[in-house]
Amino acid sequence: MSDAVWILGITMTKFGKHTDKDIADLASEAALGALVDGGVTMGEMGIMAFGNLMGGVSGQVVQKQIGQTGIPVYNVSNACATGATALRTVIMAIKAGEVDMGLAVGVEKLAGAGLLAGGTVGATPDVWEPSGRFGAVTPVDGRIGTETMPGVFAQIGQEYAYEHNVEADFKLFAQISEKNHAHSALNPLASYQKRFTLDEIMNDMMIAYPNTRPMCSANCDGAAAAVVVSDAKLKTLSLEQQRRAVKVSASILTTDPYEEACQVLPNVNTVTRLAAAQAYEQAGIGPSDLDLVELHDCFATAELVHYDNLGLCEPGGAVDFFKSGATWRDGSTPVNVSGGLESKGHPIAATGIANIWEICHHLRGEAGERQIEGAKAGLAHVIGLGSSCGVHILEKSGL
Amino acid sequence: MSKQVPLVDYLVLGDSPHLVANECTKCGARFFDRRSACASCSGTDFKKVDIGTEGTLRTFSIVSMAAPGIAVPFVASIIDVDGTSVRANVVNVTPDPEHVKLGMKVKLTTFPIGQDAEGTEAIGFGFEPVEVQ
């Protein structure tokens, strides 16, 4: 296919606490790593897309460290889907024929950050004054439900249990976390590589029932970057570069289509289902063709619903699907063999490229101890609350 | 009695407190905030509709960690009121999974949340179990 687009080089930094590196250092490390991995240079890039959600750093700052070549930088922001948005921006530029190679970078420094989102309740005001679109006289977080991420995603998981009348209880969600933490023991770049017992997970600090602390994504520092290349350009490169290149069979970004309740509780289901349907259509392959999936387990309660949303199981069948062992690394559809956001970590803007790196690593046969043998196709999924969904389907080079 | 104001403008106080939504006259989609247009059909004409005061607990989380100043634990939830979803806390219930159950019937209740310097009282709302526990 002549209009195919390929990942030529890709890398992620170690996720964790980098006290001696700032945002530009981490982004530079990832970007330079991706260029070296692809066997190309900054001077060959025609476009750069960059994401750093919480730090407010721009791609230009990184260019000043690694190469000011005059190319445009698109600084993108799409909540937790920021990395996928940066990657998709570069892919679109290549598909549009404007450039034949580009660099996407996502970076975040979040180690030590506490609870994300949710308003702080201040002192009672001098005068109750209605403000904002709800005419609220004081911040409503905690008074009218919760705006905290653990609580929002806890409700998303519990809603699945109610809607489908299935037994998705505290223990089941904890078992999903148990799986991802077990997987992380094989990933040297994960923030946490510790295997937890089910008891340890269930008895850890409760954040928002049914999510305990190890069932929440880990705040950490990290960066990931990818070099994307057009099919025509790839054909001019070395056989080794062509062999290691990973085909982007689908690149999709959606926002949440309206459905009742979606403005009351964020709906991560509709947005994912829409992206998945478009991705499978574009790739011409289906869920059964996938050898591994990296999905957005920002909380253990979220992973369950995405088995269903991505079509990995029968509609309403996510609980039985998980209980069958399908999503463990030796199962029929390994999910989050990297350890997922719960243990690999979730440096927000890096996540949507780091999950692509994980898939590419396996498709290239370079994943070492955690290699999924013979992997030919994989899917990477990310959610940005608000909401956006990025889905990329990747396939091994036929060479 | 001191002067009262609702926590949000979609809470109507008085003898029979209730919530009120902006309903799109074209497609019927309901919203609790001030609208620019309809997110479902892009229509721009809305009417006020009263929301019922009894519903079903569709989902919840018992929040133990929250921003400074927010009392924990509390039960965050979504209530299904005859097909309209409402965000609210479940109140007047022991906040544990033995007492808060998916599908339980709940009803609207209001309560004071504090007075400002002029003595005006703000009134909040929540949903409480219909059956006394």
**pLDDT per residue over B33-80, tens digit each?**
999 999 999 999 999 999 999 999 999 999 999 988 889 999 999 999
Residue B94: predicted pLDDT:
97
Between CA A5 and CA A211 the distance in angstroms is 39
Structure tokens, A204: 């850890």
Answer yes or no: are the C-beta atoms of A275 and A362 closer than 8 Å: no
Cis before B40? omega within 30? no
**DSSP structural state of residue B52:** P
B77: chain A residues, CB-CB within 8 Å: 145, 155
Q: How confident is the model at residue A114, as a pLDDT?
A: 73
Asked if residues A382 and A302 have their Cβ atoms less than 8 Å apart, the reply is no
Question: In this predicted structure, what is the pLDDT of residue A191?
Answer: 97
CB contact under 8 Å between A126 and B34, yes or no, is no
Please tell me the predicted confidence (pLDDT) of residue A332.
Answer: 97
Strands A101-109 and A47-51: parallel
Residues A160 and A358: their CA atoms lie apart, in Å, by: 28
Gap from A18 CA to chain B (nearest CA, Å): 26
**pLDDT tens sequence across A136-170:** 999 999 999 999 999 999 999 999 999 999 999 99
Facing A119 at nearest CB: one of B67, B89, B115: B67
Q: Which domains does chain A have, with CATH numbers?
A: 5-113+220-248 (3.40.47.10), 149-214+250-396 (3.40.47.10)
pLDDT confidence band for B1 (50 / 70 / 90): low
Q: Which of A116-120, A206-210, A283-287 has the lowest mean pLDDT?
A: A116-120
pLDDT at A122 over 90: no
* Better pLDDT: B132 or A37: A37
CA distance B58 to B60: 7
For chain A, give the mean pLDDT: 96
Cβ A25 vs Cβ A105: under 8 Å: no
Contact A148 B66 (CB under 8 A): yes
pLDDT of the residue at A113:
80
pLDDT band at A3; cut points 50, 70, 90: confident
> Is the pLDDT score of A93 beyond 90?
yes
- What pTM value is reported for the model? 0.96
Mutate to test the interface with B, among A162, A170, A301 (most CBs of B within 10 A): A162
CA B19, CA B51: separation in Å to the nearest integer?
A: 5
Predicted local distance difference test score (pLDDT) of residue A199: 98
Residue B115 three-state SS: strand
Mean predicted confidence (pLDDT) in A81-96 = 98
DSSP tag of A12:
E
**Chain B window 71-110: which residues touch A at a Cβ cutoff of 8 Å?**
71-72, 74, 76-78, 83-89, 97, 102-103
- Find out whether the peptide bond into A214 is cis, omega within 30 degrees of 0: no
Pick the closest to residue B76 from A272, A303, A118, A204 (CA basis).
A118
Confidence at A1, pLDDT banded by 50, 70, 90 = very low
pLDDT of residue A126: 82
* Segment A94-119 mean pLDDT: 88
Amino acid at B2: S
**pLDDT tens digits along A345-361:** 999 999 999 999 999 99
Percent of chain A with pLDDT over 70: 97
Nearest-10 crossing angle of helices A348-363, A82-95: 60
* Yes or no, beta carbons of B64 and A125 under 8 Å apart: no
Q: For residues A363 and A374, what is the distance between their CA atoms, to the nearest angstrom? A: 8
DSSP at A74: E
Q: Do B102 and A158 touch (CB under 8 A)?
A: yes
- Closest by CA to A87, choosing from A193, A12, A173, is A12
Helices (H), chain A: 23-38, 59-66, 82-95, 149-164, 170-184, 198-203, 231-234, 239-244, 268-283, 300-309, 318-323, 340-343, 348-363
Beta-ladder partners of A16: A221
pLDDT in tens, A224-237: 999 999 999 999 99
d(CA A258, CA A255): 9
pLDDT at A54 over 90: yes
CA distance B96 to B45: 42
Q: How many CB atoms lie within 10 A of CB A260?
A: 15
- To test the contact with chain B by mutation, choose from A126, A131, A143, A265 the residue with the greatest count of B C-beta atoms within 10 A, namely A143
Q: Exposed e or buried b for every residue in B26-37, given b needs 16+ CB within 10 A?
A: eeebbbbeebee
